[in-house]
Amino acid sequence: MALGSTWARLAPLAAEIGAVAERLRPSVVVVDNGAGAGAGVIWAADGLVVTNDHVVPGEQARVQLATGETVAGQVVGRDRLNDLAAIRIPRASVPAVPVGDSTALRPGQLVLAIGHPLGLNHALTLGIVSALPAADEPRELIRADLALAPGNSGGPLLDAAGRVIGINAMVAAPGVALAVPSHVVGAFVSHLGEPAPWLGITALPVLIPPAYRRSAGAAAGLLITEVAPGGPAEAAGLLPGDVIVQVAGEPIRQPRHLLEALARTPAGAELALAIFRGGRPLATAVRPTLRAAGSDAPPARSAA
């Protein structure tokens, strides 16, 4: 009796989950790069597909629609920091996903994933949000207790109403999935094709030795490992070995903090930096310039 009563209470939820999966199935595609396949999400009805950057290492991919039709796709944008890529397919009217608000997520919320794990197309997985992005992480990632496998990458993470609140990116541990929040995806899509602000550096997060933290005014920062010839950073006198500890008066611990500050700074405007060089603090400013979106494309986890 107890088992039957429990099932009776869960049956409406099971039916709703099944309905969500059926509604979203036409908006989830297979992305084949020639060496393997992942998933993708039809983000806009004019043929814009979002997937992971690592799913499409080349500039073209074959995209299989839920109908079974396969079309040629062209990569039209990348965000390597957040492991995102945008693909354009030659279709003017395809079923786009409904997008939810990832900033409103809370731990414990029910989530679903649709993808193609191990070649099983449009498989559904159910779990819960276990943790939200932390401010000191290199990337904004949703953690979910969710079983994913190769073939799920690039597919949607959905809330219980069937709205996309993330793009599944990787497996952190057995039963633990990481997804790029939908608000990060939305920002990426909204700036496709636009010139990007650029400093001309490659930098990595570092911890400052305790003996130097008082003089540096920080416990961590970004170590500049390369300075592009002719770039804004070189013009401002930045050098390899400098550690950026503040941007626009705010502490900086991860590359994404610098990229976010760049996105808020108009081209040609001064961006104030606090630098730690040779054991001494230094205040300086750099004027970001614009470069064509996707040009030079180093790994964006460390480049700006």
**Could you give the residue numbers annotated as active site?**
54, 83, 153
Question: Are 301 and 80 spatial neighbours (Cβ–Cβ below 8 Å)?
Answer: yes
Query: From residue 180, how far is each of 96, 115, 271 by CA, in Å?
Result: 18, 15, 28
- Roughly how many angstroms between the first and final C-alpha of the chain, as a whole number? 62
Write the CB contacts of 243 (distance below 8 Å, at least 6 apart in sequence): 206, 208, 216, 221, 222, 223, 224, 275, 276, 277
Beta-bridge partner residues of 127: 111
Q: Which two tokens stand for residue 30?
A: 């297979």
